[in-house]
Amino acid sequence: MTPPHPPDDKPPTEEERRRSNLIMLAVAVVVVVLGVYLVNWLIEQRKLQECLESGRHNCAPITTPAR
Sign of CA dihedral 9, 15, 19, 20: positive
Convert the pLDDT of each residue in 40-52 to its tens digit. Answer: 999 999 999 999 9
Residue 55 lies in a domain: no
- Measured between alpha carbons, how far is 38 from 34 in angstroms, rounded to an integer? 6
Number of domains in the chain: 1
Residue 51 is predicted with a pLDDT of: 92
Residue 9 lies in a domain: no
Residue 6 lies in a domain: no
Give the range of the structural domain holding residue 39, as residue numbers without chain letter.
Answer: 19-48
3-state DSSP assignment of residue 52: helix
- What confidence category does residue 6 fall into, taking pLDDT thresholds of 50, 70 and 90? low
Residue 26 lies in a domain: yes
Residue 59 lies in a domain: no
User: With 90 as the cut, is the pLDDT of residue 23 above it?
Assistant: yes
Residue 30 lies in a domain: yes
- What confidence category does residue 10 fall into, taking pLDDT thresholds of 50, 70 and 90? confident
Mean pLDDT confidence for 37-63: 91
